[in-house]
Structure 1
């Protein structure tokens, strides 16, 4: 499903996901490098992050060591309500 804006994604349940990815340097296995990834994603399955990690495993040389992530829905049910009326002045 394609969304026209980030706001529509948030209304559909997407939240901001940030992942800290530790990976081994290709030439130096004892060194770890960090990479920060951030995108809108759906909890608890995180399909966007899974696609990115699959791409990493298939196309990049540095093997993954670990992934830590945090997720926060930016618009909750108590923060959004639809207004059905309109008041016109003048």
Structure 2
């Protein structure tokens, strides 16, 4: 069962963005980048590390380095249920 983005944020997930530098398979001295973005749980980042393991096992380009950042989009006190409706002409 897949949760929508709002459900993930309410469960404590934040947006993780990773920039992966990897060696081109045919040109080992050339680095290329790949950007990955997913909702993940800090500080363990299980989805990010699962993707890195997938990369290491399935993709030919060897990883050089990974740089990532994490930001919670909803924090306590920022989410509130508002009931009401305003009608404008």
TM-score, normalised on structure 2? 0.86
After TM superposition, where is structure 1 displaced by more than 2 Å over at least 4 residues in a row? none
Any residues of structure 2 matched to 1:15-54 within 5 Å, and which?
15-54=14-53
Give the whole-Å Cα distance in 2 for the aligned partners of 1:18 and 1:4.
Answer: 19
1:62 aligns with 2:69: no
Secondary structure of 1:20's match?
strand
- CA displacement, residues 53-81 of structure 1 (integer Å, 9 cap, x when unaligned): 00000000000000000110000002023
Give the whole-Å Cα distance in 2 for the aligned partners of 1:48 and 1:4.
Answer: 14
Count of residues in correspondence between the two structures: 84
Q: CA RMSD in A?
A: 1.6
Unpaired stretches in structure 1, ≥5 consecutive residues: none
